[in-house]
Every structure is written in C-alpha cells, then in structure tokens.
Amino acid sequence: MSTQELSAIGYDNKSPKFNGNNYAWWKNRIQNVIMGIDYECWLVVKNGPNIILKTDVEGNQVPKKDSELVIADYKLLEKNAKAMSILQQAIGYRLPTLVYLAREKRPQYLHNFKAGAMNSLLRVSSEISNGAVILNVDCDMYSNNSQSIRDALCFFMDEKKSQDIGFVQFPQNFENTTKNDIYGSTLQVISQVEFHGLDGLGGPLYVGTGCFHQREILCGRKYSKDYKIDWKTSKMDGTIFELEERAKSLASCVYELNSQWGKEVNVKN
C-alpha cells in the first residue's frame, strides 16, 4: 500500500488506528502489534481478562478480594490493564454506538415490562449516541425487509410532513401458523383492517413491536409545524469508564423510584 492508502485506513508509525475503514486489515495488524508488544496481553484480548479466583470452604471457585491478592495476582491484573490500554490507544476512548443493554431487575421493584425497558434504553442511549430514531422489536421477531430502515427514514425526513410523524411501524407476519389460522394468531384483522381504517383518525396506535420512534417524541416534545429533526445528535462526553458508570445508574432498577418516569415523563408504564 502507498503512504496515502495506509493513512486512509488509519495507519501511523506508532500503532494502527481504527477509523471505521478496512476492519479486516486493522484486525490483523493490531493482533500482530499486540503479540509483538506482549504475547500474554494478546491472550487476554483473545481469551478474555484474567480473573483471580480462590476456592472457598464449600469447594467453589469465587473471586478473590483485593486484600487477598498476592504478587502473582497483581501481575495477571497488570496484563489485563496493559491489554486494555493498547486497545484504547488503537480504537480511542469512545464506546461503540451499538450497545446491548441488560437492565437491572429485582423482585421488590416494579420493572414495568416493555415500557420500563424502553425508558431505560432512552436514558442509557442518550449518554452514548443520543440517536434521533429508536427501533423497537420483540426478542422473537426480526425484519424480513432489509430496506425497512430506509423506508422509515423517508417518512421522518420528509420535508413537508415529517413534523406530523411520531413513529413508523410495520405489520407483523408470523411463521408456522395453522392452515386456517383458527386462533387468529396472525393478527390479520389488526394489520389488514384496523391499520387502514384508522388512517382517517390520525393513524393507529403503537402495537408494541416493529416500530421506529422519534426519540424526541418519546421524550415529550410538543407538536410544532416548524419542527425538523436534528440528525446531528451524537454525544459522548467523558472516558469509557465514566460513561459506563453513568449508564449503570441509568439502567438501575431504582432509577425510576419516586420519579415521574413512566408517569408524566417518557413511555407510560
């Protein structure tokens, strides 16, 4: 590769910087760099961090407390930190903007089902990407149309009517149903009759899945004829560790306790 080509994919004389282009080249290069610096660090990246364990009185393997660590343990933990440092220098200190969120649930606190999950997602994602559009899909569903995102964005980006659109949803289709659908499990009445019939009354309600939402609508934005979506909403302030700690608190099971979340603010529980 020429110097210009190497620069375009994020290479410099110190370490390969990943800038979103040519991931396969960067992955192979960063592997070689880490192995050359410290092979044990590469094993940490490959196999996961070293976890310092001990055997308790019942014969179970449990993590050691800080006060129980010995010199050999510290060396293993230093390998973890060194591997993380190398990756941070190559990738940067930004979290990926596609994030899997598992919110905290405890039996003594109401988790408010899907509305609670969406509110947690709103809070956590606002610290990471703050994306203007949110897709909600049930865990047992998938999109059978690769153009569905583009189709939804066409509505949200419409120069004349976008201010009138709060969400764009798609009908549900089901597999492995009975021949005549005697139990009505394919919800054809909803998707083929009610959806169309409600168009003259401002459109149908949100059915719970297969739906693209405007973030600001879920956050309580009031209707305005002059409103336009701000597509430049990315915000990631602070280090990975600071963002992680903030995200943990926002996904906590007690965050909404004695607050207006789910009542007067965001998705109603």
Output the known binding site for Mn(2+): 114, 138
Residue 263 tokens, joined: 């009542």
Euclidean distance between CA atoms 34 and 26, whole angstroms: 12
Euclidean distance between CA atoms 16 and 47, whole angstroms: 21
Euclidean distance between CA atoms 55 and 145, whole angstroms: 51
**For every residue of 75-141, which 3-state class applies, written as one string?**
HHHHHHHHHHHHHHHHHCCCCCCCCCCCCCCCCCCCCCHHHHHHHHHHHHHHHHCCCCEEEECCCCC
Residue 30 tokens, joined: 């960063």
Residue 161, Cβ density class (10 Å: 0-12 exposed, 13-18 middle, ≥19 buried) = exposed
Query: Which residues carry a binding-site annotation?
Result: 114, 138
Q: 121: which residues sit within 8 A by CB, 6+ positions away?
A: 101, 134
